[in-house]
Amino acid sequence: MILRIRAFILLGLLVAVTFVMLPAQLLGLAFDWKLRRRLPRYWHKVACLALGVKVRVHGRIEERRPLMLSANHCSWLDIMVLSSVADVAFIAKTEVADWPIFGTLAKLQKSVFVKREEKRSTGKQANDIAERMAAGEIVVLFPEGTTSDGNRLLPTKSSLYGAAAMALPLAPEGSVYIQPVAIAYTGIHGMPMGRFHRPYVSWPGDVQLAPHLADLLGIGAVEVDVCFGEPEEYREGVNRKRLAATVEARIRALLSARLLGRDLS
C-alpha cells in the first residue's frame, strides 16, 4: 500500500513537471533552440525518481565531438536512464514513433527514426544523423538492433555505424568518437539483482508495455549502473567492421564486469 501511494505521488509530480516543461520544449523544437537538448535530461531525472530508479554513473562521457554513444539495450527504461545523465538523442526504428506515450516522448526528444528495411531512405537518414553529430549533438546507437534479457550483449551490427562514417567529412578534425556504454541493472530493493530478477526490467518486445510498466512501478526500487568506456576514434581509412568489433568487445567487458560486481576503476 505504501509503495502504491508513493508511486501515485511521484507520478503526479511527473505529470506536473511535464506540463511545466512541455511548452518550452515545443518552442525549442519549433525554433531549434539548444534548450530542447537540455530539458529532456531534467524531465528524465524526475521520471527515474518517479519509477524508483537509482542511477549510478561510472567513468565520464567523452568531451570531444562529434560523438556517438554505443550502448547495450534491454528495455525502454534504458532511454530514461541514459537521458537522465546526458543531453542525448536516440536512433530508433520507425515503429517506436507509433508507440503510446514513448513514441510521443521520443518525438519530443527529437529522436531519429530509421527505416532499416528501406535501403533507399537509409542514406538520407544517416546523413541527417551525421549533420546533427557535426552540430555537437550526442547521438545514441543501440548496435544490437533489438533488446536483450539484460544478462548479456547480443551480436552487434557494424552497418549501423554508417552514420558515424558519414559524419567524418563534417568533423572539424576529421575524427568521430564512438564511446562504448554499458547499462547494467544490478539492484532491486537494495539487494543484488541476479539473472532471475533481471527480466523484471528487461523488455524483449513481445511483452505488452502497460503490464511491464505496472510491474516496474510495483517494484519501486531498481538500481542501474551506467558505465562509460574508453572511446574509439573513427578516422578515414579505419575498417568499420574492426571498429564495431572493438566497441562491441568493450561494451561486453564493461557489462560483464558490472553484473559480476567487479571494480571498474
Question: What would the pLDDT profile of 190-201 be if each residue is shown by its tens digit?
Answer: 888 887 778 778
**Weakest-pLDDT range from 26-30, 53-57, 92-96:** 92-96
Is residue 230 in a domain?
Answer: yes
Report the alpha-carbon distance of residue 64 to residue 90 in Å, rounded: 19
pLDDT of residue 183: 97
Angle formed by the axes of helices 2-31 and 35-51, to 10°?
170
111-142 tens-digit pLDDT: 988 876 555 545 677 788 888 998 999 999 99
Give the three-class secondary structure for 86. coil
Is residue 204 in a domain?
Answer: yes
Is residue 154 in a domain?
Answer: yes
Confidence of residue 69 (pLDDT cuts 50, 70, 90): very high
Is residue 37 in a domain?
Answer: no
Confidence of residue 96 (pLDDT cuts 50, 70, 90): confident
Q: How many domains does the chain have?
A: 1
Is residue 3 in a domain?
Answer: no
Report the alpha-carbon distance of residue 211 to residue 31 in Å, rounded: 37
pLDDT of residue 4: 64
Asked if 36 and 28 count as a contact pair (C-beta separation under 8 A), the reply is yes
Segments forming the whole domain that contains residue 74: 53-259
Question: b/e for 30-67, b at 16 or more Cβ within 10 A?
Answer: eeeeeebbebbbebbbbbbbbbbbebeebbebbeebbb
Who's near 58: CB < 8 A, 6+ residues apart?
225, 226, 227, 228, 258, 264, 265
Residue 162 backbone zone (phi > 0: left; psi -120 to 50: alpha; other: beta): alpha
The H or E element containing residue 59 is none
Is residue 149 in a domain?
Answer: yes
180-189 tens-digit pLDDT: 999 999 998 8
Given the C-alpha cell 571494480, which residue does it identify? 263
The H or E element containing residue 183 is strand 175-188
- This prediction's pTM: 0.90
Is residue 13 in a domain?
Answer: no
| Average pLDDT value over all residues in the chain | 87
Share of residues in the chain with pLDDT > 90 (%): 51
Question: b/e for 172-198, b at 16 or more Cβ within 10 A?
Answer: eeebbbbbbbbbbbbbbeeeebeeebb
**Weakest-pLDDT range from 33-42, 93-102, 247-256:** 93-102
